[in-house]
Amino acid sequence: MTAIIELNGVSKSFGGIRALRDVSFTIDQGEIVGLIGPNGAGKTTLVNVMTGVTGATAGQVIFCGANVTAQRPYQAARRGIARTFQVVQPFPRMTVLENVMAGALFGGADREVNVRRAADIAREQLEFTELAALADKPAGSLTIAGRKRLELAKSLAMQPKLLMLDEVNAGLNSTEIDRALALVRKISERGVTILLIEHLMKVILSLAQRVLVLHQGELVAQGDPVAMVNDRRVIEAYLGEKFARRYQEGATGA
């Protein structure tokens, strides 16, 4: 398969603190890849480097064959790299429709987007994310689940090739998580490559075709999700013995 993004020896330091250490991996076009690790592992820093929010101290980021290590966020967006944020902060006084229009106008490969076209794109994404009925409501009036879907709609309006979902299920109940899982699958079916940053192993095991494991800024393991759950390094660094034992008992029907 063709790699859509490739990291080669990426490191990031903040003063004397090394947040990322020689991280290398590829994500193929059309994949859903999970990114897991304990708090402070460097997951958000990694996404920030990939999207141009912060520069790498060393290494390269290659997107669609081009070296984009020094890109700015607006350049990443226009190349087709979009992300959601763990802490959802819509423009609260703007309508739901206007929030999504902002995404359409800011990013995407289509440089000919004007306000009318942005409105059409926004309505399409609101329909897709089941928010169309709330289009004229202030974004600040949405529930947490609604705001999470609004975040998805905004990112999809940017027409991404690669979409990074940063804990998109945080704060949701079981029913809302199931709806979110179905929505992510539909996004993948559109041909969008997805990097899924998650703490919920239910989500990772349901969606991810491959998992990357970060610990203390280093990529300590990667591979099949089930193999990662049973990997001793991953258990020690992140999952813990209790989760691993419970998962293994469930897998064997105990």
Are both 154 and 196 inside the same structural domain? no
Residue where a domain terminates, one of 159, 186, 204? 159
Are both 76 and 168 inside the same structural domain? yes
**Confidence (pTM):** 0.90
Are both 129 and 227 inside the same structural domain? no
- pLDDT recorded at residue 234: 84
Q: Total structural domains in the chain?
A: 2
Range of the domain at 136: 94-159
Residue 62's beta-bridge partner residues? 6, 67
Span 179-203, mean pLDDT? 93
Per-residue pLDDT reduced to its tens digit, 15-69:
889 999 999 999 999 999 999 999 899 999 999 999 999 999 999 999 999 999 9
Write down how long the chain is: 254
Distance CA(123)–CA(82), nearest Å, equals: 19
Residue where a domain terminates, one of 119, 135, 159? 159
Distance CA(186)–CA(177), nearest Å, equals: 14
